[in-house]
Amino acid sequence: MSDFDAIVIGAGNAGLTAAATLQRAGARTLLVERHNIPGGCGTSFRRGRFEFEVALHQLSGVGVEGQPVSLREGLFQQLDIADKLEFVQEHDLYRAVIPGQLDLTLPADWERAITTIEEAFPGNGSRARAFFDLVKAVAFWQIAAKRGMPAEEIDPTLFTYGLRPLRQVLDEYFEDEALKCALGIYWTYLGQPPSKLPFQDLALTLFAYFEFKPWHVRGGSQAMSTAILDSFLRAGGEVRFNTAVDAILTEAGRAIGVRLEDGQEVTAPDIVSNASLPVTYAMLGDIVPAAVRNDLASRRIGVSGFVLHMGLDATPAELGFTASTSFINLDADDDRTQASWHSLEPARGVCVSSYDVAPIGFAPSGATHISLMTLQYADAWDNIAPQDYASTKFAYAETLLDVVEHITPGIRDAIEEVDVATPLTMMRYLGHPGGAIYGYDQDATESWLFRNSERRTHVPGLHLAGSWAGIGGFQPTLEAGARVARRLLRTKAA
């Protein structure tokens, strides 16, 4: 008999929800995590009198009370954590700024956003309404397609617009360049510029935040990760931290267990991996078919991030932060901005998360915790000599401060605590190639539509869950883990 019914490798979002779903359904599950805390990206850490949020800028999908098909009413209730978490709503979607050209705060409400757009860009209210109708249609039919609705029943709007570059769709609906920038600015979360980003990706993102609102969690993403772990442990699950899985054991081409880094072998008929695909397949050794190895070699490792975490000795109002989330781009040349993520060229844009406009409890009273983030590929950091690493990262961090000074002049005077994370930091803490935070590049050719790794592992008994096997981001990975676990349980029951 096997030691467990299932082993889950990695306690990121998808690993946690997979483990909790399996154990709560009665499958004896071991969760193995190389770090000393649960969460993967969804963690926090302490500096001085501040706790710093690592990753969660805006949680999508939580939904307001009574809204069905939301994390709050769905997954979080299934895991019995809905009433153990306190969600903090961001009332604005974001503030979008291009110094001298654009400064627009979009409320997180379809109708109020249309009114705001009409006020700031007279004559564009009806265009915005038509654009939002398209966003809703493309998001809705995309979800239907993902849930398996046959193609002939899907509205052709999805096929007409879904894979067109965002830029083309914005050009079709609007003439004002600043307004196009304001409505497309979530591209800086998703990693592909409007000239390449499939419209369906922006549509899904806007829909998730407008319809289900943007949220923070009191106690940060760590509170959520810990709550899911507690749900797993309450159901009798077993977890090992500070333990990496070194190898996935196979017999006659089937996964039968894992070898831990101390050499111990643990058996189970089902293994769920939340580790990256390159790491997972490397752990299988020679049995991986050549076709799979070739396919993996053809894929592009996605973007990582550079984050400046700060504790500021001033309130958000004193600093001039009016929205929880602000995007500041120096200009509208998005292709150039995305290209700059491969270099140490001064940051051309930042996402600013101000966690005390609607406080999450990480800064003491009268102070503010913010993070400044720009996406960046790890290759920008590949050739830095170890002795130059610290000075290089602090010099680059200064360029993010230069950008944020456009909305908070004098912010440097309020800095009390600071910490800097580079793509190498992400690589070290997550164990992912390139420190990639959404797995592979999130463009059309790498998307779930063409490469659904979650459904095909080529090794019976091995299941993949997380950003490397599907869509990256908090909501998608939280849902992916539970989905993979449910599929596994259904197969066992059949």
Ligand X SMILES: Cc1cc2nc3c(=O)[nH]c(=O)nc-3n(C[C@H](O)[C@H](O)[C@H](O)COP(=O)(O)OP(=O)(O)OC[C@H]3O[C@@H](n4cnc5c(N)ncnc54)[C@H](O)[C@@H]3O)c2cc1C
Binding residues vs ligand X (CB under 6 A): 9-15, 32-35, 40-42, 54-58, 244-245, 274-275, 279, 305, 307, 373, 426, 430-431, 437-438, 466-467, 472-474, 477
User: What's the min distance (Å) between Cβ of 71 and ligand X?
Assistant: 12
In the complex with ligand X, the residue whose CB is nearer, 127 or 481, is 481
User: What's the min distance (Å) between Cβ of 58 and ligand X?
Assistant: 5
In the complex with ligand X, the residue whose CB is nearer, 41 or 117, is 41
In the complex with ligand X, the residue whose CB is nearer, 210 or 438, is 438
User: What's the min distance (Å) between Cβ of 151 and ligand X?
Assistant: 28
In the complex with ligand X, the residue whose CB is nearer, 178 or 247, is 247
User: What's the min distance (Å) between Cβ of 304 and ligand X?
Assistant: 7
User: What's the min distance (Å) between Cβ of 351 and ligand X?
Assistant: 8
In the complex with ligand X, the residue whose CB is nearer, 124 or 205, is 205
User: What's the min distance (Å) between Cβ of 182 and ligand X?
Assistant: 19
In the complex with ligand X, the residue whose CB is nearer, 36 or 365, is 36
In the complex with ligand X, the residue whose CB is nearer, 34 or 348, is 34
In the complex with ligand X, the residue whose CB is nearer, 173 or 429, is 429
User: What's the min distance (Å) between Cβ of 402 and ligand X?
Assistant: 20
- The 3-state secondary structure of the chain reads CCCCCEEEECCEHHHHHHHHHHHHCCCCEEEECCCCCCECCCCEEEECCEEEECCCCCECCCCCCCCCCCCCCCHHHHCCCHHHCCEEECCEEEEEEECCCEEEEEECCHHHHHHHHHHHCCCCHHHHHHHHHHHHHHHHHHHHHHCCCCHHHCCHHHHHHCCCEHHHHHHHHCCCHHHHHHHHCCHHHHCCCCCCCEHHHHHHHHHHHHHHCCEEECCHHHHHHHHHHHHHHHCCCEEECCCCEEEEEEECCEEEEEEECCCCEEECCEEEECCCHHHHHHCCHHHCCHHHHHHHHCCCECCEEEEEEEEECCCHHHHCCCCCEEEEECCCCHHHHHHHCCCCCCCCEEEEEECCCCCCCCCCCCCEEEEEEEEECHHHHCCCCHHHHHHHHHHHHHHHHHHHCCCCCCHHHHEEEEEEECHHHHHHHHCCHHHCCCCECCCHHHCCCCCCHHHCCCCCCEEECCCCCCCCCHHHHHHHHHHHHHHHHHHHHC
User: What's the min distance (Å) between Cβ of 35 and ligand X?
Assistant: 5
In the complex with ligand X, the residue whose CB is nearer, 317 or 428, is 428
User: What's the min distance (Å) between Cβ of 233 and ligand X?
Assistant: 17
